[in-house]
Structure 1
Amino acid sequence: MKQIFSFFLVILFCLQGVYAGSKAPYTGSRIFWDTATKKQIFSSGGYPRMIELQDGRLMAVCENHGIDIAFSSNKGNTWTAPTKIVTNGNIPECAPDLIQLSDGTILVAYNPRPSAPYSADRLFGIHLKRSTDNGKTWSDDIAVFDGNYDFRDGCWEPAFLEMPGGEVHLYFADETPFTSNDDQRIAICRSSDKGVTWTTPKIVAYHSGSRDGMPSAVILDNDSIALCFENPGWPGVGDFIPTIAVCAVKDNWKRFVPYPSTNRWQAIDRDYVNPQVKGGAPYIRKLPWGETVLSHQTHYNGKYEMMVYVGDEKAQSFKAMSNPFKTSANEDYMWNSVSVIDTGVVVAVGNLVGGGVYMEKGYAVRMLQAPFAKTMIDGVQTRNEGYYGAMATQMILGLQNGMRFTGDFAYDEDSLYFTSRVSDTDQVSSGSNGDGVTLFIDTKNSSSDQIISEGTFRFQFMANGKMRVAKGNGTSSWQWNAMSADTLGVNYKRGGTDRYYIVEAAIPWERLGFSKETRPNGTHMRVNVMLQNRSTSDATLNYEMLPDAKRDESWSWMDFYLQPHDVSAVQDTKVSNKTNKVGIYDLQGRLIEQTNGNSFPLLRKRGAPVIVRQQHADGSTSIHKVMMK
């Protein structure tokens, strides 16, 4: 076997301080979207979906006067010209979804949607095509379900799921039974022969007097199915809202989930996320380490935008809201989706209405880390200076400002090192209150929500080469005390040009409250970063922070871990780093096998690439993508 890609994700419990006003910190992943990866997949089309195939290629599908597909052999940098596998006849073919089954068969489902004038010979339905040669050729049309012919009693938006035993599910929104009202349910058809034949529909979710619609589904690590769909019937919402219904894999929808039910809940944590953010068209996927990712469209800014959230391993408490695509006033992204590729790269697949289909990559990060290294503070970034990323790109920001910020950390016995590079589409504003990057550090991990605790620092590195420093006073709400940057001993160098600027800084541990005897080593802190941009065209000042972080509330900042560096710490880590559990997943995130210890029976067999997740005794997790020869 050959390991072609791996990364190490540290998952440790955050230490909570005992300070007044401390709050349980948010410890889930946050997605850093990289605008440099935005690529067009289709020049026109809608309802885009994407998967990673077993041969490593990406495959995308959309509706475009029929159904188009395209492939990428370089993880989305370039795409083949579209191939039309379904052509509109006397019925428009719409809203596709796709899946590659464990045996390699590719299925593409779509939704015939007749338009007025309606007639009984032109039916709404759910149809599909199959490919058994990696998408080179496709079968004839297979009718899974044919419904009614009137728009008021149609069926909509198919979505696939493969069960652990090989049974294939095809979910869809169904109004067919409700000819006297506007109700809608989520129905399921099943196939036991890789999509050749299908059962009649069965109800899986229904809210009487409301409209469950637009389903998608994943299998969770607790061996349950999470079905995500939109629903406008929640009291007090007044709009569509993403909803989750669950059932155990072993139960396999023996009973449908009604409303109300303990097996049905609003997906988004609206006490945490802006309660004005509502909307439908949800799509759910799972990260290799179990967390879930949800997208939906919303109109709360006066235009349709795509929002993405991270939920826990039970598809609950979706937080860390982010918007992958920066939009102008006259742009709308609708009927979007998310995909998870490689060992956890999240891909937003967006339909810019009237402007084609785009993708953009995001990187889910649960914890920021600093390796032990001594870096050169000279205002110049070079490869492998000792930061966590080879090119110092552990953090990525810039969506709201139309810029691109990357940042990273390292440390040694003397100092904490911080660097960032900010590329400006406008000219860098070097005024006293112009462009800059602010680093917040909660050195005591106090997770404050009411005061800026003592031991919390703010370093504002301005693009003009100046620096401002402040410290939390620990007594008054939201109070920072300014400090003298000259006496703090921070070594700050500004590099770059009038189009980009580089921050490199070394912050002495002694100035952060640590003595020689208490130098950090294997320590948890909390950090936040704020990007400040002054527009040279209209002089407006814009800010962007780490996803879902609040400026002065350290409980919302990201967990920050200093990797151990002394000999005893490394030895202790190795001794305790025994593998407790191994999960083996396919490229769609489906659990194939779970074992205890270091047993890898599946990896000795020939087959497709798999993702191996090792849960260690010390709480850390290793994730590897493995290719068999």
Structure 2
Amino acid sequence: MKLKMSILMLAISGLLLDGCGKKDTPPGSMPDTVGIHNIYELNKEEGSLDSHAGEESSSVLELDFNSYVEVPSATLGITNPVYSRIKKKKSGGYILFYQNGQIGSNIYYSNSADLKTWSGGKTVFQETAITSSQGADSRRYSSADAVVLTNGDILAVTSFRANKAYRYSPETNGIMIRRSKDNGFTWAPEQVIYTGTNWEPYILELPSGELHCYFTDTDPVYSNSGTSMVVSGDGGNTWSPSGTSNNYKVIRQYKYLNQGRRIYTDQMPVVRMLNDGKTLAGFMEARLETNNQPDGTSYYMMSLVYGEDNWQHLSGDQVGPTDRQSNLFRGAGGYLAQFRSGETVISCNINNLFSMKVGDNKARNFNHKSWATEWYQPFSGTGYWGSLEVDGTHSIVGTMHKSGTIMIGRFILNHRINAPQKNITVDGDIGDWTHTDALFIGSQGPTQATFRSAVDAQNLYLLVERRDNYVATGDNIDLYFHNNEGNSLNDNSLKITIGPTGIVSCAKWNSSSWEATSASFLTIANQVSGVVDDGSADNGYLSEIKIPLSTLQASGNYFRFNAVMVDGKTTDTFTFADTGKPDTWMLIKK
């Protein structure tokens, strides 16, 4: 078949470069008459619960470079913002909670409509003068979190303590909540929901409406901990059990005896109800000591636990739950989330880096890899105590402290996409691409690309949309295709390099290397929103490509696909993808 190329150049006026190199003008600053989509305009099909169960090993997260922000202390109103917890409001926008310093005394919050611009920090829990068993004292607050209820109310929850009497008088310590009914702009008075020494409360709303408040149940004298909870059946108005240090002990592992006392751990809990509607999964740290003795050096390990309903309530010397994966790897400050499609995500601090892993819909297997490998660590800054918040079917927000700032980024879920049966005309008009199932690259710089696929009886189609503020010769994308037969490249593996004006090169794998071949069997149509190499602001380009299925010799229902995008000196590809290992590429299902 003769190569067909339809190059439609749509010139638009723009700002000239001042000197050499790429401009900082973002894509979309000039009118886009081509209609190049960004990733947030795609992936609109909600899909069924656990739609990707069994395929999660190929699912990865990709930072949206353009979403990343470091919120400065000047905005947040304190010098050392830590313990960041971010929540998406039911009516739109976000709210961020944090404290000043590792121990904390006040809890602050900030609101944002877009994750980029944040309001000045305000106090939600304020240090207060009190009288305790130690005389004049102060009530201080630390380790806050929040939950957005089904009705839209926001419950902010925090641990409080008497500064001087903390170790001596558990009745002066506890957990408080405050409720906002207007998206976090005003707050009802403080409400004590638990009395007793604790840290790191976390609230979960079950599908029934019941609320669980999990927390680190602490004996500060003997460094004893474990996870306990109190429960509300009326939306947080009342909680049980009541009384000082009276709670339901639900998660703990035994460490050793200290002065005749049994010492436990399992702390800083985060618990989610999984998509099956019955399994509770918890992710938490354990504080352990070398030689398993109280005078040993402390270190932290991460564990996963599983249960149903309200867990088994532990008493006496009991430990539990029995269904658990204990002390899997060194880390601290864990968080857990789940996408509608099934993928679970854990985050924690490993060597002071915000670290994430994608797991299966049961939160048991994570990337089917060793715990020592393939942690996604997208933030260059170091810190501790991060969190996660799913904010769409294909996006999740991550945040963590960095000295003097809070880092925030949105991550796109790349997982198996479908290539539906379509009648695609390769002409540069993408009106027949009505489905929005898409993959995304865009973690290394402002230039980003999305990829969609379709099939008919004879052909595989690919739509590439590249958003680029300055389209230049050499702005290429390497596209890799594999028939999913085995984990190695084979004679049917295909590499196509495209640029703003169409196909740059084509190659097939020949035993040990890529061998150039004619591209005459391909059909491509390009459109550029802008003018190549003219120095003015552009929006990018798109390519429609038709590939005969016979070229790939794909007899099964899946293809493997990879892409490497070049933008000046920057290259970008899917997270963990290796061009020589098709089993690390993305899945396309026909």
TM-score, normalized by the shorter chain, greater than 0.5: yes
**Aligned equivalents of 1:313 and 1:208: distance in 2?**
29
Structure 1 pair 116–33 and aligned structure 2 pair: CA distance change class (3 A): same
Structure 2 counterparts to residues 523-538 of structure 1, below 5 A: 523-532=557-566, 535=569
Structure 1 pair 481–325 and aligned structure 2 pair: CA distance change class (3 A): closer
Structure 2's unaligned 5+ residue stretches are 1-42, 129-137, 256-263, 292-297, 369-373
Q: Which one of 274, 285, 291 corresponds to residue 343 of structure 2?
A: 291
**Aligned equivalents of 2:574 and 2:559: distance in 1?**
15
Structure 1 pair 310–505 and aligned structure 2 pair: CA distance change class (3 A): same
1:168 aligns with 2:203: no
Shift of 1:52: 3.3
Q: Which one of 320, 340, 359 corresponds to residue 311 of structure 1?
A: 359
Structure 1 pair 313–357 and aligned structure 2 pair: CA distance change class (3 A): same
**Aligned equivalents of 2:208 and 2:434: distance in 1?**
44
Q: Which one of 283, 289, 296 corresponds to residue 228 of structure 1?
A: 283
Counterpart secondary structure, 1:282: strand
1:208 aligns with 2:254: yes
Cα deviations across residues 344-379 of structure 1 (Å, max 9, x unaligned)? 53222333331235342534533254662535566x
- Find the counterpart in structure 2 of residue 219 from structure 1: 273
1:480 aligns with 2:513: yes
Structure 1 pair 284–508 and aligned structure 2 pair: CA distance change class (3 A): closer
- Find the counterpart in structure 1 of residue 87 from structure 2: 51
1:130 aligns with 2:179: yes
- Find the counterpart in structure 1 of residue 24 from structure 2: none
- Find the counterpart in structure 2 of residue 34 from structure 1: 64
1:416 aligns with 2:489: no
**Aligned equivalents of 2:52 and 2:141: distance in 1?**
49
- Find the counterpart in structure 2 of residue 246 from structure 1: 306
Deviates more, 1:56-65 or 1:197-206: 56-65
Structure 1 pair 371–356 and aligned structure 2 pair: CA distance change class (3 A): farther
Counterpart secondary structure, 1:512: helix
Q: Name the aligned partner's letter for residue 529 of structure 1.
A: A
Shift of 1:98: 0.9
Shift of 1:429: 8.2
Q: Name the aligned partner's letter for residue 236 of structure 2.
A: G
**Aligned equivalents of 1:511 and 1:261: distance in 2?**
53
Structure 2 counterparts to residues 60-459 of structure 1, below 5 A: 60-64=96-100, 66-72=106-112, 74=113, 76=115, 78-89=117-128, 90-102=138-150, 104-112=152-160, 120=168, 125-132=174-181, 135-147=184-196, 155-176=198-219, 179-180=221-222, 182-198=223-239, 199=241, 200-209=246-255, 211-222=265-276, 223-231=278-286, 240-249=300-309, 251-255=310-314, 262-265=322-325, 278-299=330-351, 304-319=352-367, 323=376, 325-327=378-380, 331-343=381-393, 345-363=395-413, 365-369=415-419, 372-374=422-424, 376=426, 384=431, 386=433, 388-389=435-436, 394-399=438-443, 401-411=444-454, 416-421=461-466, 423=468, 430=474, 436-443=476-483, 445-446=484-485, 448-449=486-487, 451-459=488-496
Paired residues of 2:508 and 2:517 also in contact (CA < 8 A) = no
Paired residues of 1:377 and 1:504 also in contact (CA < 8 A) = no
Q: Name the aligned partner's letter for residue 60 of structure 2.
A: R
**Aligned equivalents of 2:463 and 2:66: distance in 1?**
22
Shift of 1:460: 3.3
Structure 1 pair 40–246 and aligned structure 2 pair: CA distance change class (3 A): same
Q: Name the aligned partner's letter for residue 250 of structure 2.
A: V
Structure 1 pair 32–370 and aligned structure 2 pair: CA distance change class (3 A): farther
Shift of 1:119: 7.5
**Aligned equivalents of 1:295 and 1:162: distance in 2?**
20
- Find the counterpart in structure 2 of residue 504 from structure 1: 543
Counterpart secondary structure, 1:281: strand
Paired residues of 1:371 and 1:410 also in contact (CA < 8 A) = no
Shift of 1:96: 1.1
**Aligned equivalents of 2:204 and 2:424: distance in 1?**
49
- Find the counterpart in structure 1 of residue 578 from structure 2: 550
Paired residues of 1:439 and 1:458 also in contact (CA < 8 A) = yes
Q: Name the aligned partner's letter for residue 562 of structure 2.
A: N
Q: Which one of 45, 50, 61 corresponds to residue 7 of structure 1?
A: 45
Shift of 1:279: 2.2
Counterpart secondary structure, 1:9: coil
**Aligned equivalents of 2:397 and 2:549: distance in 1?**
42
Shift of 1:215: 1.0
**Aligned equivalents of 2:505 and 2:44: distance in 1?**
39
**Aligned equivalents of 1:234 and 1:405: distance in 2?**
46
**Aligned equivalents of 1:62 and 1:397: distance in 2?**
31
Shift of 1:109: 0.9
Q: Name the aligned partner's letter for residue 547 of structure 1.
A: T
Cα deviations across residues 250-283 of structure 1 (Å, max 9, x unaligned)? x533348977865111698xxxxxxxx8522111
Paired residues of 1:33 and 1:362 also in contact (CA < 8 A) = yes
Paired residues of 2:300 and 2:332 also in contact (CA < 8 A) = yes
Task: Tell me the matched-pair count.
Answer: 493
Shift of 1:9: 3.5
Q: How many percent of aligned residue pairs carry the same amino acid? A: 19
Paired residues of 1:32 and 1:395 also in contact (CA < 8 A) = no
Paired residues of 1:442 and 1:455 also in contact (CA < 8 A) = yes
Shift of 1:87: 1.7
Shift of 1:339: 1.0
Paired residues of 1:267 and 1:316 also in contact (CA < 8 A) = no
Paired residues of 2:426 and 2:546 also in contact (CA < 8 A) = no
Normalising by structure 2, report the TM-score: 0.70
Paired residues of 1:215 and 1:228 also in contact (CA < 8 A) = yes
Q: Name the aligned partner's letter for residue 405 of structure 1.
A: Q
**Aligned equivalents of 2:182 and 2:568: distance in 1?**
53
**Aligned equivalents of 2:93 and 2:568: distance in 1?**
41
Paired residues of 2:500 and 2:526 also in contact (CA < 8 A) = no
Structure 1 pair 548–25 and aligned structure 2 pair: CA distance change class (3 A): farther
Paired residues of 1:334 and 1:353 also in contact (CA < 8 A) = no
Shift of 1:95: 1.7
**Aligned equivalents of 1:136 and 1:561: distance in 2?**
45
Q: Name the aligned partner's letter for residue 168 of structure 1.
A: L
Normalising by structure 1, report the TM-score: 0.66
Cα deviations across residues 191-227 of structure 1 (Å, max 9, x unaligned)? 3343344322232222222742221111123402111
Paired residues of 1:409 and 1:417 also in contact (CA < 8 A) = yes
**Aligned equivalents of 1:267 and 1:339: distance in 2?**
24
Structure 1 pair 258–507 and aligned structure 2 pair: CA distance change class (3 A): farther
Shift of 1:41: 6.3
Counterpart secondary structure, 1:319: coil
**Aligned equivalents of 1:293 and 1:511: distance in 2?**
38
**Aligned equivalents of 1:439 and 1:58: distance in 2?**
36
Cα deviations across residues 285-332 of structure 1 (Å, max 9, x unaligned)? 222244322222222xxxx332233222211112396747542xxx32
Structure 1 pair 164–324 and aligned structure 2 pair: CA distance change class (3 A): same
**Aligned equivalents of 1:561 and 1:481: distance in 2?**
25
Structure 1 pair 116–373 and aligned structure 2 pair: CA distance change class (3 A): farther
